[in-house]
Amino acid sequence: MRKQFSLILAAAMSLSLLAGCGGGSSSAPASSAPASSAAPASSAAPADSSKEAPAETAAFTPEKDVDWFCASSPGGGSDIFTRMISDIMTKEGLVSETFLVTNKTDGGGEVVKAQVSETKAGKAADHTLLTFNVGELLPMLDNTKRRIEDFTPLAVMAVDKQLIFAGPQSPYNSFKEVLDALAEGKTVTLGGSKGDDEATFALLLEELGVGEDQFIYVRHDSSGEAITEALGGHVDLCISKPAATAQYVEEGVDDSKRMRPILACSTERYTGLLADAPTLSEVDSKYSDVEFPTWRGIVGPKDMSPEAAQFWSDTLKKVSETDQWKNDYLAKNLLIGNYLTLEETKEFMTQQQVDYMAANGIS
């Protein structure tokens, strides 16, 4: 597992900074929008994320069903994100055609990325979308020759973070108990999805000074699968973002299906139902807090027409301004709204790619 996440982490932090000036509500930890960026100037997204798209709408309107692919399983954070946006576009009358949302996890999601990137120019490319986030970017760069240049980046919509949860059958009631078990030489298992969850765990291992053969990461295709494993007692813990776990921590949930948040992977506690989860420095002051802000976005095929790309970018901006997006997605799932335009998204994703490849010696 790669440990060199400093550059891409800094870039992700610089993206979260834009939430303070780009518009969009936040119920996430206040530290998600730091007062100053930890990233070098070259890896920060453009400073003006509020600039408007061209006043004249590009000459494209969807005229057939839209194929929207998600490289994670149903019930995970990316799936929730995808279905929320497509639902808003339909309810608000922003798109009159039908969205066909398809979850494809073959090859860790790399099969569907190849399929989308290689979609030929024309109606097919203009009516194809792929949910894409840092959790899709990292394994793609690690394991394939596919790059951002093989897609058309359309928008970044929000910033997310993780927590560690204990399932109903877990032997651990707090992260302090987990640290005690590790100190005694015991093995602890933790389930999570690919990409950003795994990156957060790598940072945690590095901070704790524990080997991955003792604190074991069990990789899944989505957060939903990791949660299912934790509920069944097949792993001791799981790591997930709030969206995928909300239904398991709400009041009234049966004890056999209740997930307990025991660690906030952030520099400040969450609010509401997640407020009981301490940060790492609160658990033990000898440790520093660990976080890996996760951006969530959308891309299209490389051969998507400029007119279609502009349409989808503009339409996603309209989604980001709706009450349903702000209340039912951002506030409910404790995310930071952070819309980036077509040009900003391309620049930001490209720079993250450059930084990560340089940090990890990928050619």
138 and 181 inside one domain: no
Contact 190, 166 (CB under 8 A): no
pLDDT digits (tens, 9 = 90+) for 83-126: 999 999 999 999 999 999 999 998 889 999 999 999 999 999 99
When comparing pLDDT for 209 and 255, which is higher?
209
Mean pLDDT of the chain: 85
The confidence score (pLDDT) of residue 15 equals: 53
The confidence score (pLDDT) of residue 271 equals: 83
62 and 186 inside one domain: no
SS3 (DSSP) at 260 = strand
The confidence score (pLDDT) of residue 313 equals: 98
Read off the pLDDT of each residue in 294-306 and give the average, rounded to a whole number: 96
Compute CA distances 143 → 111, 125, 201, whole Å. 12, 25, 19
Residue 140 belongs to some domain of the structure: yes
257 and 329 inside one domain: no
265 and 308 inside one domain: no
The confidence score (pLDDT) of residue 336 equals: 84
Number of domains, the chain: 2
Could you tell me the CATH number of the domain that includes residue 260?
Answer: 3.40.190.10
When comparing pLDDT for 81 and 55, which is higher?
81
141 and 176 inside one domain: no
200 and 298 inside one domain: no
22 and 168 inside one domain: no
pLDDT digits (tens, 9 = 90+) for 58-69: 489 999 999 999
313 and 168 inside one domain: no
Q: Which domain holds residue 225?
A: 162-283
137 and 171 inside one domain: no
- Ranked by mean pLDDT, the top range of 24-28, 43-47, 280-284 is 280-284
What is the CB neighbour count within 10 angstroms for residue 229? 19
Residue 1 belongs to some domain of the structure: no
Contacts of 24 (CB under 8 A, 6+ apart): 158, 320, 326, 330, 336, 337, 338, 339
Could you tell me the CATH number of the domain that includes residue 108?
Answer: 3.40.190.150
**pLDDT at residue 132 tops 90:** yes
Domain boundary among 283, 303, 321: 283
pTM assigned to the model: 0.74
262 and 307 inside one domain: no
Residue 329 belongs to some domain of the structure: yes
Residue 288 belongs to some domain of the structure: no
DSSP-assigned beta bridge partners for residue 215? 188
pLDDT digits (tens, 9 = 90+) for 320-340: 999 999 999 998 888 888 899
pLDDT digits (tens, 9 = 90+) for 266-275: 998 988 889 9
In degrees and rounded to multiples of 5, residue 229 shows phi and psi of -65, -40
Domain boundary among 249, 264, 283: 283
